[in-house]
Structure 1
Amino acid sequence: MKLTDRVVVLTGAAHGIGAAMARRMAGEGVRGIIASDLDADAAEALAASLDCPAVAAHADATMRPEVRDLVRLAHDKFGRVDLFCSNAGAAFGTTIHAAEDQWARSWSINVMHHVYAAQAALPGMLARKEGYLMLTVSAAGLLSAPGDAPYTVSKHAAIGLAEWLAVTYRPRGVKVSALCPLGVRTELLTPGIEARHPAAVAIAAAAPLLTPEEVAESAVTGIDREEFLVLPHESVRSRYAAKAADPDGWIDRTIAETAAATGSGR
């Protein structure tokens, strides 16, 4: 899908990958962007800086009514929604013994947020027989994030949701992409690397860290090509193929790589 003259709704837009995506899409000549984030001031600053019509919105992406209101706002301001990028996410760096609220928060933001986005955007897209959903998932949804159980589990669920949406709605004109970066220099990852958290260190060791701008470039290219899996780190493709071909071997290699990166095997 070409982004020229398209209307975009983007959650998690104020920082990191979301802000980079907003700036990159503005450069493609979009008709307008709804830039949504819990950080209202940063969303306002981003919207004001974009080289296209843009409206900032303060919204909690885990609340169905607030996500629905983003679509209504886009219709009020720009007439429709062509592309909904559900980009908000969260990680806690916790194990299977994570607190109940961390499991619940991971599920609500890393899975149900995408569900609410699809529920809100699909009616208008299906009526026009055209539209696009991009879910920011993670390479952890295809592989794993050693040291972070809620993140790994919820991101796997998000991949399953994206697959279901693609199978169900691609025949009706709605394209779906799952954006799956590995390590990215954002506030979601870099503090963990500095603190030597096992999950963050293992991710950083698996492939070179990308900038948010590099991920945004991959996202725009993936939308243009209408690819289901958008993989900013090309090495994820071969790792995912190796996992499918030999799951036990992949698990053993992941254990060894994690131990080497964190020093836990010493």
Structure 2
Amino acid sequence: MDVDGKVAIVTGAGAGIGAALAQELVSRGARVVLGDLSPKVEEVAATLNEAAGDSAPVAVAHVGDVCAEAVIDDLVRLADDTFGALQLYFANAGIIGAPGLDVSESDWDTSIDVNLRAHIRAAKKLVPRWVEAGEGYFVSTASAAGLLTQIGSATYTVTKHAAVGFAEWLNITYGDAGVRASCLCPMGVETDLLYAGRETGDPLGVAATNAVLSAGEVLTPQHVATIVLDAVADERCLILPHASVLEMMRQKTSDHERWLGGMRRYQASLLNDSR
């Protein structure tokens, strides 16, 4: 899909990949609604409008919990009323979750809501209208952890696997009806989320951050956003900013038991280094 002249929503747009996606969309001629729980999203929208220098806005912001159905409704309404019919939705908001197995039911619910149900709720609202229009694009931000696994956080691993599965299902089920679905699965990206594990002080959390930092190059959000929009232009489903993830997937599927053993050894070395 050519995003020039299109209308998009980006969640988690107050910083990191979300803010970079909004910037890249605007640079390619799109008009964007930015959603985030943080008021910083208003600053991002203001910066985009100032840079554009147009009399009419190229970006508007909405502060709210983007995994709530009412807020998703507000975002879609804002897009339709400000810019016209919405064609792209970037379900980008995410959280890392607490490390280990001793995670409360409430924490599990929050991770599932943010990392998965937010995607489902947005798709339920948008896909039927896109099928009717014959065109639409849903882009979800998952993680390489959704294809491999995440040392440290079970909630992150499980919900990101589910997000990948949902994106694949959307692509298969509605691709022939004009609705495209892509899934972003990066490793290390220079965002606050990358260092969240260290902030917990938990050995598994520290190991989680160190695992990502040692696994490959840490990319800038801007670099990732460029890769994502190039993939949207080509209508590719699986978006891998780190090419090494594809080889890691092949190693996992070619000899699963060996891969699991290697991951256990890797985790042990990281835990030893974090002590």
TM-score (norm 1): 0.94
Q: Which amino acid aligns with 1:139?
A: A
CA distance in 2, matches of 1:241, 1:114: 27
Matched, 1:135 2:140: yes
Does residue 209 of the first structure (1) align with residue 218 of the second (2)?
A: yes
Equivalent AA in structure 2 for residue 82 of structure 1 = Q
Measure the CA separation in 2 of the matches of 1:236 and 1:27: 28
Give the corresponding residue for 1:226: 235
What is residue 8 of structure 1 aligned with on the other side? 8
SS of alignment partner, residue 192 of structure 2: coil
Matched, 1:149 2:154: yes
Q: Secondary structure at the match of 2:98?
A: coil
SS at match of 1:3: coil
Instruction: Answer whether contact 2:96 2:196 (CA < 8 A) is retained.
Output: no
Show the counterpart of 1:29.
Answer: 29
Residue from 81, 84, 88 that aligns with 1:79: 84
Q: CA deviation at 1:77?
A: 1.1
Q: Is the 8 A contact 1:259 1:265 kept in 2?
A: no
The question of whether the paired residues in 2 share the 8 Å contact of 1:182 and 1:233 is answered with yes
Q: Structure 2: which amino acid aligns with 1:26?
A: V
How far apart, in 1, do the equivalents of 2:119 and 2:196 lie?
26
Is 2:121 aligned against 1:116?
Answer: yes
Contact 2:187-2:242 within 8 A present in 1 as well: yes
Shift of 1:21: 0.8
Is there any run of 5+ residues in structure 2 with no aligned partner, and where?
none
Question: 2:149 touches 2:157 (CA, 8 Å); kept in 1?
Answer: yes
Provide the alpha-carbon RMSD of the alignment.
Answer: 1.7
The 5-angstrom pairing of residues 42-53 of structure 1 reads: 42-50=40-48, 51=52, 53=58
What are the superposed Cα offsets for residues 160-191 of structure 1, whole Å, 9 maximum, x if unpaired? 11111111110100000000111111111124
What secondary structure sits across from 2:33 in the alignment?
strand
Structure-2 residue corresponding to 1:19: 19
**Matched residues, number:** 264
The equivalent position to 1:235 in structure 2, one of 236, 239, 244, is 244
SS at match of 1:181: coil
CA contact (8 A) 2:32 2:59 kept: yes
* C-alpha separation in 2, matches of 1:265 and 1:214: 30
Structure 1: give runs of 5+ residues left out of the alignment.
Answer: none
What SS does the aligned partner of 2:14 have?
A: coil
Whether the 8 Å contact between 1:201 and 1:262 is mirrored in structure 2 is no
**Cα deviation, residue 259, structure 1:** 2.5
Asked whether the 8 Å contact 2:90–2:140 carries over to 1, the reply is yes
Equivalent AA in structure 1 for residue 187 of structure 2: L
CA distance in 1, matches of 2:149, 2:100: 13
Query: Which residue among 146, 165, 168 is the counterpart of 2:170?
Result: 165
Distance in 2 separating the partners of 1:218 and 1:259: 33
* Larger CA deviation: 110-119 vs 48-57: 48-57
